[in-house]
Amino acid sequence: MYVSEVVIREIEQTSDENQKERLLNVIAEFDLRVLPLTDEANKLALLYLAERILPEKKLDDARHIALTTVNQIDILLSWNFKHLANINKQLAVKVINEREGYYYPMLLTNPMEVLYEDD
Protein backbone atom coordinates (compact mmCIF):
# COMPACT_ATOMS: atom_id res chain seq x y z
CA MET A 1 0.00 0.00 0.00
CA TYR A 2 1.11 3.50 -0.76
CA VAL A 3 0.26 7.07 0.06
CA SER A 4 1.54 10.09 -1.75
CA GLU A 5 3.22 13.32 -0.85
CA VAL A 6 -0.14 14.91 -1.77
CA VAL A 7 -1.89 12.86 0.94
CA ILE A 8 0.74 13.85 3.51
CA ARG A 9 0.23 17.50 2.61
CA GLU A 10 -3.55 17.10 2.96
CA ILE A 11 -3.13 15.48 6.37
CA GLU A 12 -0.77 18.23 7.52
CA GLN A 13 -3.46 20.81 6.67
CA THR A 14 -5.92 19.10 9.03
CA SER A 15 -6.91 21.52 11.78
CA ASP A 16 -7.79 18.79 14.29
CA GLU A 17 -4.41 17.94 15.84
CA ASN A 18 -5.63 14.59 17.23
CA GLN A 19 -6.94 13.53 13.84
CA LYS A 20 -3.72 14.67 12.16
CA GLU A 21 -1.59 12.68 14.60
CA ARG A 22 -3.81 9.60 14.23
CA LEU A 23 -3.54 9.66 10.43
CA LEU A 24 0.22 10.17 10.42
CA ASN A 25 0.58 7.35 12.95
CA VAL A 26 -1.32 4.96 10.66
CA ILE A 27 1.13 5.75 7.86
CA ALA A 28 4.08 5.14 10.18
CA GLU A 29 2.58 2.03 11.82
CA PHE A 30 2.01 0.30 8.49
CA ASP A 31 5.27 1.64 7.08
CA LEU A 32 3.47 2.92 3.99
CA ARG A 33 5.69 4.03 1.14
CA VAL A 34 5.23 7.71 0.31
CA LEU A 35 5.23 8.46 -3.40
CA PRO A 36 6.76 11.81 -4.38
CA LEU A 37 4.86 14.14 -6.67
CA THR A 38 6.97 14.03 -9.83
CA ASP A 39 6.94 16.40 -12.79
CA GLU A 40 5.55 13.55 -14.90
CA ALA A 41 2.61 13.01 -12.53
CA ASN A 42 1.95 16.72 -12.17
CA LYS A 43 1.90 17.19 -15.95
CA LEU A 44 -0.58 14.32 -16.31
CA ALA A 45 -2.75 15.77 -13.53
CA LEU A 46 -2.87 19.11 -15.32
CA LEU A 47 -3.92 17.28 -18.48
CA TYR A 48 -6.86 15.69 -16.63
CA LEU A 49 -7.95 19.20 -15.66
CA ALA A 50 -7.45 20.57 -19.17
CA GLU A 51 -9.54 17.69 -20.56
CA ARG A 52 -12.22 18.49 -17.96
CA ILE A 53 -12.15 15.04 -16.39
CA LEU A 54 -11.98 16.87 -13.07
CA PRO A 55 -12.83 20.49 -12.22
CA GLU A 56 -9.90 22.94 -12.19
CA LYS A 57 -10.15 23.36 -8.43
CA LYS A 58 -9.58 19.61 -7.91
CA LEU A 59 -5.87 19.56 -8.77
CA ASP A 60 -4.97 17.34 -5.82
CA ASP A 61 -7.61 14.78 -6.86
CA ALA A 62 -6.09 14.82 -10.35
CA ARG A 63 -2.66 14.35 -8.77
CA HIS A 64 -3.90 11.28 -6.87
CA ILE A 65 -5.00 9.70 -10.15
CA ALA A 66 -1.83 10.73 -11.98
CA LEU A 67 0.42 9.31 -9.26
CA THR A 68 -1.51 6.06 -9.41
CA THR A 69 -1.07 6.02 -13.18
CA VAL A 70 2.64 6.81 -13.47
CA ASN A 71 3.54 4.44 -10.63
CA GLN A 72 1.47 1.62 -12.15
CA ILE A 73 -0.55 1.08 -9.00
CA ASP A 74 -3.47 -1.31 -9.41
CA ILE A 75 -6.11 0.44 -7.33
CA LEU A 76 -6.78 3.97 -6.12
CA LEU A 77 -9.02 3.76 -3.04
CA SER A 78 -11.06 6.76 -2.03
CA TRP A 79 -14.30 7.71 -0.33
CA ASN A 80 -14.57 10.56 -2.86
CA PHE A 81 -17.30 9.15 -5.08
CA LYS A 82 -17.75 12.34 -7.08
CA HIS A 83 -14.19 12.78 -8.34
CA LEU A 84 -12.22 9.58 -7.68
CA ALA A 85 -14.10 6.36 -6.83
CA ASN A 86 -16.28 6.62 -9.89
CA ILE A 87 -16.55 4.36 -12.94
CA ASN A 88 -17.22 7.32 -15.25
CA LYS A 89 -14.02 9.01 -14.11
CA GLN A 90 -12.16 5.73 -14.46
CA LEU A 91 -13.25 5.38 -18.09
CA ALA A 92 -12.41 9.00 -18.92
CA VAL A 93 -8.98 8.65 -17.28
CA LYS A 94 -8.36 5.45 -19.25
CA VAL A 95 -8.92 7.27 -22.54
CA ILE A 96 -6.47 10.05 -21.62
CA ASN A 97 -3.93 7.63 -20.16
CA GLU A 98 -3.88 5.44 -23.24
CA ARG A 99 -3.64 8.45 -25.52
CA GLU A 100 -0.61 9.54 -23.47
CA GLY A 101 1.01 6.09 -23.55
CA TYR A 102 -0.06 4.74 -20.15
CA TYR A 103 -1.62 1.32 -20.66
CA TYR A 104 -1.38 -0.19 -17.17
CA PRO A 105 -4.90 -1.06 -15.95
CA MET A 106 -6.09 0.81 -12.89
CA LEU A 107 -9.27 0.78 -10.81
CA LEU A 108 -10.74 3.86 -9.16
CA THR A 109 -12.88 2.46 -6.37
CA ASN A 110 -13.84 2.77 -2.73
CA PRO A 111 -12.59 0.76 0.26
CA MET A 112 -15.85 -1.22 0.53
CA GLU A 113 -15.09 -2.83 -2.84
CA VAL A 114 -11.88 -4.42 -1.58
CA LEU A 115 -13.06 -5.62 1.81
CA TYR A 116 -13.92 -9.26 2.15
CA GLU A 117 -15.89 -11.29 4.64
CA ASP A 118 -14.64 -14.42 6.33
CA ASP A 119 -17.15 -17.26 6.23
Per-residue pLDDT reduced to its tens digit, 85-119? 889 999 999 999 999 999 999 999 998 888 776 66
Q: Tell me the whole-structure pTM to 2 decimals.
A: 0.89
Domain map (residue ranges) of the chain? 1-35, 37-119
Q: In this predicted model, what pLDDT tens digit does every residue of 24-82 receive, in sequence order?
A: 999 999 999 999 999 999 999 999 999 999 999 999 999 999 999 999 999 999 888 88
Q: In this predicted model, what pLDDT tens digit does every residue of 16-26 receive, in sequence order?
A: 999 999 999 99
Give the gyration radius of the chain's Cα atoms: 15
- 93-97 contacts, C-beta under 8 A, 24 or more apart: 93/48, 93/53, 93/65, 93/69, 96/47, 96/48, 96/51, 96/53, 97/44, 97/69
